[in-house]
Structure formats: C-alpha cells, structure tokens
Amino acid sequence: MISNVKNPFGKFNGNEAEYVLRALDTENPENKSFPWVQRFEEAFSKKVGATYAIAVNSGTSGLHAALYAAGVGAGDEVIQPATTVVMDAYVTYHLGAIPVFVDIDPDTWNIDAKKIEDKITKKTKAIIVVSLYGLPVDIDPIMAIAKKHNLIVVDDSAETVMSLYKGRIAGTSAHMGVFSFEKSKHMTSGSEGGMIVTNDEELAVRARKFAGIGYRGLTAAAGRTSLASSVYQDPDYERFDTIGLNYRMNAVTAAVGLAQFERIDHLVERRKAVGKMFLEAIDGCSWLKSQKVPSHSNHSYFTFGVLYLGAQHKNIPWKEFYSKYKESGGDGFYACWKNPYLEPSLRGKKMGNQVFELGLCPIAEDYQKKIMAFKTNYRDLGEARHKVDILSSLIDNIGRKG
C-alpha cells in the first residue's frame, strides 16, 4: 500500500508517485495516450533555453547519440579531458573513433582550452568537454576553436544541471549538451536516464533517430510525423532509414523525471547550500583547495571537490585523512575516478599518436591521486551541517596552516 504521507527530507516527495501510477494505468484512456516523454522533453528544453531536447535512457546513451549526430565514425579523433568518467572514451571507441586526451586547467579542473589546439589533427571530428562536479566549463573559447577548425562540441553536463555560465544555462552553449538523471545526480528519473539538448535541427534529427532505432518518421521535436494508419499498416511501408539503437526513454522513467524536474530549482539550491557549508569549513585551510569558480559562472555542487595537500604539508596520507574523517563520524568521501586511459580496459593501448600510459596528462594524473569529493546530496541540511562541522573540527585539530 502506498502511503500519502510525504517525507519532508525524501528525494521523491513531489508528484513522482502520482505520475508513475498514471503512467502505469494504461487501461485508462486518459493515461494511455498521455505523452510523458514528450512533456518531459518540452519542459526541459523550455527551462534550459534549448530549441530541442531528446530524452534517452542514460547519459552514456546520450553521449553516444550526440557523437553519432556529430558524424563521428571510424578513424576519427575526439578530443576530451583527462579528468572525467571513462564513458566519454567508451562512446568514442564504440563509434570506431579515437579518444584524444587533453590535460586539465589546474584551477578549475576542467579541460584546459589553451592545450586543445595542440591536439587537433586532420582526423579530429569533435570535442567533448566535461563540466566537472557542477562547475561549467569555460565554453566560449572552445567554441571559437571549434568554429576555426569546423568541429562539433559536445558538453557532458551530467553533473551540472542548471549551473550558469555567463548568464546561460550550462550545457546549452555547445552544439549539443548531454545531461544525466542517474540516481546520484541533482535530479533523477528513477535510476537511469538522460537528455540531449541542441539548437541545431539537423543534429537533433540525427541524435533522435540514432537513439530511436532509426525510425524514419522521427523529427527534431518530440514525437513523430503524423501518418494515417493506412500508410504505416501497408506492407510496403518502410520504417527505418538510419541504423540506430534503442536508447529511448520509457513513459515511467519520464514520469519520474518530469516530477523531479518540477522541483529542480529546489534540488539544485539545496546542493549549493551544502557546497557553501563546505567552503566555509575549509576557509583558511592551506592544504585543502577547492575548484576555482570564475566570476562568470556559478557552481551547482554535484559534489564538493577539494585538492588534498595534507600529505605534503601535514605528513598525513590521503587514506589516513579519510580514516580520520570516518572515525570522527563523517560520511567519508569519494576519490576522483582513474584517468580514463589508465583504467584496465584502456591502459597500455596505442591509439592514434597516443599511448595510454602514465605521463600522458601530468596535471590530471597528479590531481587524480589528491582529489577528495564530499557528498552534497543530503536531504536534511541539519545532517549536512553536522557532517561539515565534523570536517571543520578535524581541520582545526590538525591545524589550518601548512
């Protein structure tokens, strides 16, 4: 039996349960024909200011479809940052292309735009940028580079929903932006889900067709072209004009996503509030450095990342500090993912002019060993404050100055 009592600290305390039950009740004609996916796409595109939105079943699917739409194929090269999840490299690889890694900016931890042109060759087809941990990538210089070399830019904004860059929603200034609704993100569509946004009709059509099994009738906007039943029930009707995959979002997932998106401002502001608490906790600490937030951007704090310098300045190794925080009652924190090219699945391979081994991107490799990512998805800000105070006390006990 489903309770009607909403948990004030719960993640799904909006219209999620109501919408899911309606999406499941397909025997009711009103619910059977309700376009949940289309409504979610339309709400998302309107709020972020993009012309088109294509809902998919994961952020990874969205990246795959976006690169396909960009025309990436066998032998092409796709530039991407050395600090990110491995999926950006995987979708490149599965299209027969070569991931080309660029080192990060030491202040923002996002891809260093000044190092991109050195990696561009005649084979370069696209650039994937990643807005890391909720901080928008400085996209304008990268778009200028892309225009100069006739490249397509995909902004992996999986962790950066509703962040602002120069007054614009992050993810909307690239040729395509890809968002994730996996369960740990600012908002979720239940467990997995994603959204591609673009202002380019041709890119939208290509992405939607690839993610929709290649149906000929799919268009840039939500839904299909309207056909009389006598047309598509004809044995001579041809359905598919693109070789695609089934990356479509289903109605139940869209129902959860739509309900969550109705509360997105609240969900993001809550994470930003926790991020501010962490900033205050590390204030004056010389051996914990947060990402630098440029004046033209804000940070939506998917997580709160710090660069840990305590091994050098306090003679306390990363793992020892982790244990001290846990023993004090903290929740622990995450390490940064391995650099994609150093994961066992890619390590040691030679692709293009790069060998995937240590030394490829020195700053990213150094930071990977030092980054600490504290959780910000607390439902109760009181609990968040308690955990942050534990960190602050631990810093005081160790000493804030190096």
pLDDT in tens, 192-206: 999 999 999 999 999
Mean of pLDDT values over 227-239: 73
Where are the CATH 3.40.640.10 domain residues in the chain?
A: 16-263
Alpha-carbon distance of 88 to 213, in angstroms, equals 21
At 1, is the pLDDT very low, low, confident or very high (cuts 50, 70, 90)? very low
DSSP code per residue over 177-246: EEEE--TTSSS-SSS--EEEEES-HHHHHHHHHHHBTTBTTB-SSSSB----HHHHTSTT---BSS---B
Helix pair 59-69, 87-94: axis angle to 10 deg: 40
> How many CA atoms lie within 13 Å of 81's alpha carbon, on the beta-carbon side?
29
In tens, the pLDDT along 338-395 reads 999 999 999 999 999 899 999 999 999 999 999 999 999 998 999 999 999 999 999 9
Q: Tell me the average pLDDT across 211-231.
A: 77
Element (H, E) at 103: none
Percentage above 70 pLDDT, the chain:
94
CATH topology (fold) of 16-263:
Aspartate Aminotransferase; domain 2 (3.40.640)
Residue 32: its pLDDT value, please? 64
Q: What is the CATH class of 265-398?
A: alpha beta
Give the DSSP H or E segment for 288: strand 288-290
pLDDT score for 3: 40
Question: 51 — alpha (psi -120 to 50), left (phi > 0) or beta?
Answer: alpha
Where is average pLDDT lowest: 11-15, 101-105, 108-112? 11-15
Residue 14 reports pLDDT greater than 90 = no
pLDDT band, very low/low/confident/very high, at 84 (cuts 50, 70, 90)? very high
Average per-residue pLDDT in the chain? 93
Q: Which residues are catalytic?
A: 185
Is residue 295 within 8 A of residue 166, CB to CB? The reply is: no
Residue range(s) in the chain whose domain bears CATH number 3.90.1150.10 = 265-398
The pLDDT value recorded for residue 2 is 39
